Amino acid sequence: MIDFPAAAASAAAGLIAAAAPAAEAPPAWINFLPIVGMVLIFYFLLFRPQMRQQKAHREKIAAVKKGDQVVTAGGLVGKVAKVDETYVELDIAQGVRVKAIKQTLGDIIPPGGAAAND
């Protein structure tokens, strides 16, 4: 006695396997293209502009001289009284002198710049 459903299923499976050719796997380097693309995007959109900004800040801080008006990262505004390799002394009020680390200077205020609240 022939079991018709089992024979039909095995015959159908054989036909499907014969009809579908074996698909080739893509080369391995194609799998890494999205990762390489993401690294390039991060480099050009995040890292490179940040490095450029840091370089400009370092150059600006290196050019600080006596008499410049600066803003510290903490928000203090003062006039440079003395410049050292590492430190800067700032006059923030009459008779008030503060010593700050040069790298904490946020920006140099251009001469004739108006105060933010004016």
Task: Report the pLDDT value the prediction gives residue 17, as an integer from 0 to 100.
Answer: 52
**Percent of the chain having pLDDT more than 70?**
76
> Bigger pLDDT: 110 or 81?
81
What are the structural domains, with CATH classification, of the chain?
64-109 (2.30.30.100)
**Percent of the chain having pLDDT more than 90?**
64
Task: Report the pLDDT value the prediction gives residue 112, as an integer from 0 to 100.
Answer: 74
Which positions ≥6 away from 60 have C-beta within 8 Å?
A: 107, 108
Average model confidence (pLDDT) across the chain:
83
Residue 43 pLDDT greater than 60, yes or no:
yes
Task: Report the pLDDT value the prediction gives residue 18, as an integer from 0 to 100.
Answer: 52
Backbone φ and ψ of 71, nearest 5° = -120, 130
Best CA proximity match to 92, nearest among 79, 82, 108: 79
